[in-house]
């Protein structure tokens, strides 16, 4: 039997006073007498979003309702505490989150965002996590990265990168970003698009053809990864 782990260590930038308050909020959400939320946390969740909320209440409300196990159909208005699978430590540069065995980065990123929202912070929290295994399993190693701001939590994994590259290799495809410039009396317009080149096809030929069709000038093309191509294809047309 193999055991799988996620390892990560990162800091949420904030003052020591803010970090201490965040730890107290975490304790109130982590169980108070028979795995229930602390009465203060229960009261914070019972409040309406339109009411005046203290930073402590804002932090608790956001963290609890964005925990990976939270389901509004079952937990709204409830008092059940969730497990926050990470350790915390107040440091000079903020709140340090890690775990001695395996960290839950979904819960950690939700908590980090709650801190940023509660303190109206514009900091960027960066999480780099490694996936490890105590056996030499083929699926036991990898990693992911997360960035957290007040507005967004963004995530990518080595698995997604490899899946995209594997598919590209199977299809014998390479991917490029091409650009063509056209001139107007007042300014220059740049048309940006994606090129999918099969086998040994020259992507420059596609860019030159687009330039010819719109009476523009080719600005060339640059190769991108299969993972980047998949992300960009929802925003740019593919030639």
The predicted pLDDT at position 139 comes to 86
The predicted pLDDT at position 32 comes to 65
Sheet arrangement for strand 153-157: 4-8, 125-133, 142-148, 153-157
Q: For the chain, which residues make up each domain, given as ranges? A: 4-158, 172-232
What distance in Å separates the CA atoms of residue 43 and residue 123, rounded to the nearest whole number?
29
* pLDDT by position in tens, the chain (length 239): 899 999 999 999 999 999 999 999 999 999 766 788 999 999 999 998 889 999 999 999 999 999 999 988 876 666 789 999 999 999 999 999 999 999 999 999 999 999 999 999 999 999 999 999 999 998 899 999 999 999 999 999 999 999 999 999 999 999 999 999 998 888 899 999 999 999 889 999 999 999 998 899 999 999 999 999 999 999 999 98
User: How many helices and strands (H and E) does the chain possess?
Assistant: 8, 10
What distance in Å separates the CA atoms of residue 6 and residue 143, rounded to the nearest whole number?
8
Please list the residues that pair with 174 across neighbouring strands: 197
The predicted pLDDT at position 186 comes to 87
């Amino acid at each position: 039997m193999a055991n799988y782990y996620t390892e990560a260590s990162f800091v949420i930038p904030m003052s020591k006073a803010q970090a201490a308050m965040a730890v107290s909020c975490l304790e109130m959400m982590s169980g108070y007498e028979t795995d229930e939320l602390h009465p203060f946390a229960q009261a914070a969740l019972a409040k309406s979003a339109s009411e005046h909320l203290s930073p402590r209440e804002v932090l608790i409300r956001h963290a609890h309702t964005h925990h990976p196990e939270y389901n509004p159909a079952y937990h709204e208005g409830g008092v059940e505490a969730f497990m926050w699978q990470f350790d915390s430590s107040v440091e000079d540069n903020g709140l340090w989150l890690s775990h001695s065995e395996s960290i839950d980065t979904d819960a950690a990123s939700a908590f980090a965002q709650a801190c940023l929202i509660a303190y109206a912070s514009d900091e960027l929290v960066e999480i780099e996590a490694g996936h490890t295994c105590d056996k030499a399993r083929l699926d036991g190693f990898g990693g992911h990265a997360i960035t957290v701001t007040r507005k967004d939590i963004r995530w990518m994994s080595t698995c997604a990168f490899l899946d995209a590259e594997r598919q590209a290799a199977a299809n014998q495809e390479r991917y490029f970003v091409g650009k063509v410039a056209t001139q107007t009396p007042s300014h220059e317009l740049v048309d940006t698009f994606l090129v999918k080149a099969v086998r040994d096809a020259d992507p420059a030929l596609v860019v030159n053809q687009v330039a010819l069709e719109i009476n523009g000038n080719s600005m060339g093309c640059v190769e991108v990864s299969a993972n980047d191509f998949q992300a960009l294809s929802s925003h740019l047309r593919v030639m």
